Amino acid sequence: MMFYIFNIGVILLVGLIAYWWANQGLFSSFLHLLCVIIAGALAFAAWEPITTGLLLHGNKFDNYAWGIALIIPFLVFLVIFRIALDKIAPDNVSFPIWTNYAVGFPLGVVAGTLTIGIFLIGAGHIQSGRSLFGFQGWQRSNSTGKVTQVQSAWFPAHKITSQFYSWLSVSSMGALGGTSTPMQRCNPELYKQMTLIRDSYKEGTSAMALVPDSVQVNGVYICDELRKIAVSLNFDAKAQDYGEQLTISSAQIRLIGSTHGQGSPSVVHPENWSQETTRGRGHFVFDDVSHYATSVPGRQTAQITFIFPALEHGQPKYVQIRGTRVNLSTVQKVEASYSAFAGVSGGEDTSSEFVGGGDIRSAIRIDNRLRGLNVGTNQLPGGIRHIDRYFSEGEASISKGGDRPARSLQIQGIYETPGTRIVKLDVSRTSPANIYGAVSREAGNNAQLALVDTAGREYSPIGYLHEKTDSYHIKLAPSRFVRTIDELPSLPSAGNQTLELIFRVTQNVTIAAFRMGDVTVGTCNVNVPPAL
């Protein structure tokens, strides 16, 4: 719901701004657009110096500094230019009414788009959770842990604004200002950063900023054979989240390549990392949204090496961490065996392997009961419905434990429609029907999930049951189905959570296989008997 409100709100605000200035006349619309463009350019130019030079001090205000340092200067510059132009040109120029709307309205749309775009980019850099008013944009995929586009805005004012000022920074404004660090080269694809920087620990409530002098570069290493780039960084206590422990997601750090002229630099996020643990140095993969590069609890510093894929063009120029840009001056070529790349070609990176096609009978349960779930009909969240004490449709998270409800009120399981049985398939990381890791890479995120019977008929999941340490999350969508892995929750690679897909299968058929797109995850020969 919030996603729709966000999109409708952006369109309405841009439309209202355009309508207002169209009513003021073509000349006023033009002058206001001029003020917005210049105010935005100055705000973006002052953004990094104000934030990193004045506002970041390693306290909780840091999580609001980037957003405030963009929005407030923009408003100040805009007010100053509006007042100045009103003094210089106090009288309007008369044009025919049709001209005001035919030309003034489009000018107002441009001004409104840039204004709302700047506000959205600024708001995206203010801590409030993983999403921005329900909009997630670019974040880590729940299925693979890789940075990807999760949602697209109906009217991407933030993207238009980012691309416009990036172009301006290497064209007319860049030439006029004579800067050697234009926005397009130093902070490219800013519209992605608006939501990437929010993808932090504890559902986006962890640190979103980094004090510049809290990180030092130990070395930058390129391995042409592996097509990898390693950046070794040392973080001190000021980089920790509220003085507790450092946590960095792969969405919050990116490598920016060098470029010249008006070209856009290559940008990549890390795939692996190595760090100290309580048991020595370990190597890890950013293959799940639960994975973060961290410091050892209680230690003041952390030395972490991030492994990036090779850049499409150019040499590593900057590493940007939570918005803070760090120069990379010395780059060293290394062999594939160099310790900075240990673990990249080892067993933890299974991108070249494929697992699947085995016997999955042990992962199948023909049973509509929900074991261990103690909840009554009078305790259910509003998002899920039931028929005769059996869940029928909706979504809810239910805590484990608690007092057992009265027998007459206790939820019994999942509703079976006449002529069908509920079939549950364990697809967790430790299951023979595991769909994560190598299987998902082989099949792709858009591959359709389906049980297949001996006659070739397919059955899509009507939902899932996700069991965590302290809760269950159940989703049932029998009219829409759960079709792809992107619609499923992520599971940590440690394998300490379980996920069961829920199918509604016709009685008296024999299940032959489970497929993910063109990939056969596993085979079986399981008969679905009629209900007792």
CA distance 263 to 182: 11
pLDDT confidence of residue 353: 45
User: Nearest to residue 32, comparing CAs of 103, 90, 111?
Assistant: 111
**DSSP-assigned letter for residue 213:** G
Quick one: tokens of 515?
A: 């497929």
pLDDT confidence of residue 474: 92
CA 165, 170, 171, 173 dihedral sign is positive
pLDDT confidence of residue 201: 86
* Contact by Cβ (8 Å): 469, 438: no
Quick one: tokens of 448?
A: 């359709």
CA distance 378 to 523: 41
pLDDT confidence of residue 93: 63
pLDDT confidence of residue 27: 83
Q: DSSP per residue over 68-102, as a string?
A: HHHHHHHHHHHHHHHHHHHHH--S-----HHHIII
Q: Which residue has the tokens 């962890």?
A: 206
* Contact by Cβ (8 Å): 36, 21: no
CA distance 253 to 270: 7
**DSSP-assigned letter for residue 103:** I
Quick one: tokens of 392?
A: 């029928």
CA distance 110 to 89: 21
134: left (phi over 0), alpha (psi -120 to 50) or beta: left
CA distance 266 to 268: 7
Quick one: tokens of 104?
A: 């003034």
Q: Which residue has the tokens 């230019």?
A: 81
pLDDT confidence of residue 531: 83
Residues 6+ apart with CB under 8 A from 481: 460, 461, 462
Amino acid at 315: Q
Neighbouring CB atoms inside 10 A of 385's CB total: 13
User: Nearest to residue 461, comparing CAs of 441, 444, 484, 442?
Assistant: 484
pLDDT confidence of residue 337: 54
pLDDT confidence of residue 352: 38
pLDDT confidence of residue 247: 92
pLDDT confidence of residue 178: 54
User: Considering the entire predicted model, what is its pTM?
Assistant: 0.69
Burial 250-281 (b: 16+ CB within 10 A, else e): bbbbbbbbbbeeeebbbbbbbbbbbbbeeeee
pLDDT confidence of residue 348: 40
pLDDT along the chain (532 residues), means of 10: 92 94 86 95 95 91 95 97 83 68 89 97 93 92 86 96 94 61 92 94 88 93 88 92 84 93 90 84 82 86 93 94 92 64 42 65 92 80 88 88 80 92 92 85 84 95 88 90 85 74 96 94 94 78
